[in-house]
Amino acid sequence: MSGYHVNTCSWSWSFQGIFACLVAIVTVTVYSTYFGYSSNGTSVNVRLMKPDYANTSSTLFTEKKITKAPATTSRNECHIVHEKLNSCNKLPNFFLHEDQRHHFQNAIINFWHLQKASGSTIGHCLSNIYNKLGLPLTAKSGSSCKRKEEILQNANYFNSSKERPIVRGHGTLGLCDFIKEKITDRKCSVFTVFRDPYDRLVSQYFFNKEYVPWVLKENGTIKDWIFGSSSAVWKSFSNEWKFESLDNGQEKCKDLQRFVTREDRWPSINEYYAGIANNLDKHLSFIGLTEDLQTTYQMLEEVYGLPFVEVCSDLHVLQGSYELTNVTEQRARKMAAKRELMEDQETQRLIQFELLIYEKAKEIFEAQKKVFLKMKGSRRHTPNSS
């Protein structure tokens, strides 16, 4: 009879018994930690794996420690990156959340203008629609706190039941959430148009060279500019502001954003950031694509009941003098710049959050289209009530 029992690990003083007990304890500890099981049988997430929906190169998604989500905001504020449906003031996707569609009839329209993703075209489109219908289009916001304070001065516009309130501009993604208790109890429907990140960044770079060359390094390449800038998509998702009441009764806005390190400006993918992509249909009421603006207009018309197709189908706004240059030469330069970025692994790692969001946006766009076509087909086969 040996001096120990494998199953009970009884306290025998033999060397073999002590050694076997130690081996058993270490084995259980390592197994439970690495493979995700605790002593009570509950699974735990130790390593982050590549999201199933990410149809991009595996080099973009590396294992790293899971970071904590930002601290919870105060009682009167609402963090933009929320997972709970309707925990703030934004309406979820019109096509994918049928039970919320009745809110859209009286909702604030919030157009988040993503740079170089047909934003100027959509902005002019909205202006033309509102002019055609004789509606006021007064609320235009940027990313600065000054613009947020100007929005508060238009409280009557948002609270009027006779108007169709609209907010548009850069950095408006979380605006309705943060000021919901200050200007209105209306729901807010946020929509945007996404574009392939490589195309968007290339377009932004050439736009900067023409209009704001001081943001570029002297003789700097497109990679130099990207590495020194920040993700426009993440910057909007991480928008945080705080409003303080002054003695004169006005509200003072304070920007809480801090983009110090490269990780702040171009986040790597972990569970928190992947969760944002997974909940994109809850953050945005509608998603359009630059690559398919005509279908985007048709679906926008379904969401808001506004004449997007009639007014905007032939509209295309060029924010640049590209039409004054050799089109073939300009296209060749852009294609060369895009190839440079796509072939550079360092750039791929840097923009992985934008790539992930874009892949999810395309997935949602196709899902929206299926529901939209089904809705149209259903109406065609429904006899007139008369």
DSSP sequence for 317-337: --SSSGGGS-HHHHHHHHHHH
pLDDT at 385: 47
Q: Is the pLDDT of residue 359 over 60?
A: yes
Instruction: Count the Cβ atoms, other than its own, within 10 Å of residue 126.
Output: 23
Determine the Cα–Cα distance for residues 317 and 306; give it in Å rounded to an integer.
20
Confidence of residue 18 (pLDDT cuts 50, 70, 90): low
pLDDT at 17: 55
pLDDT at 316: 72
Least confident of 90-104, 181-195, 280-294, 349-363: 181-195
* Mean pLDDT confidence for 228-237: 89
pLDDT digit string, tens, across residues 304-358: 999 999 999 888 766 555 445 577 888 899 999 999 999 999 999 999 999 999 9
Determine the Cα–Cα distance for residues 273 and 279; give it in Å rounded to an integer.
10
Confidence of residue 177 (pLDDT cuts 50, 70, 90): confident
Distances (CA, A) of 167 to 110, 170, 192, 249: 5, 10, 12, 23
How many residues would you count in the chain?
A: 386
pLDDT at 141: 63
Token pair recorded at residue 193: 């148009």
Q: Is the pLDDT of residue 14 over 90?
A: no
Least confident of 31-35, 130-134, 365-369: 31-35
Residue with more model confidence, 294 or 383: 294
How large a percentage of the chain has pLDDT more than 90? 35
Q: Is the pLDDT of residue 16 over 70?
A: no
pTM for the predicted model, two decimal places: 0.76
* Mean pLDDT confidence for 242-267: 80
Least confident of 10-14, 103-107, 221-225, 276-280: 10-14
Average pLDDT, the chain: 75
Distances (CA, A) of 119 to 115, 158, 162, 202, 384: 6, 23, 27, 15, 38
pLDDT at 294: 95
SS3 105: helix
139 and 167 Cβ atoms separated by less than 8 Å: yes
Residue with more model confidence, 340 or 170: 340
pLDDT at 135: 83
86 and 92 Cβ atoms separated by less than 8 Å: yes
Pairing relation of β-strands 241-245 and 188-194?
A: unpaired
272, with CB counted inside 10 A (0-12, 13-18, 19+), is: middle
pLDDT at 88: 66
SS (H, E, C) 159-212: HCCCCCCEEEECCCCCHHHHCHHHHCCCCEEEEEEECCHHHHHHHHHHHHHHHC
Q: Is the pLDDT of residue 292 over 90?
A: yes
Q: Is the pLDDT of residue 363 over 90?
A: yes
Q: Is the pLDDT of residue 4 over 70?
A: no
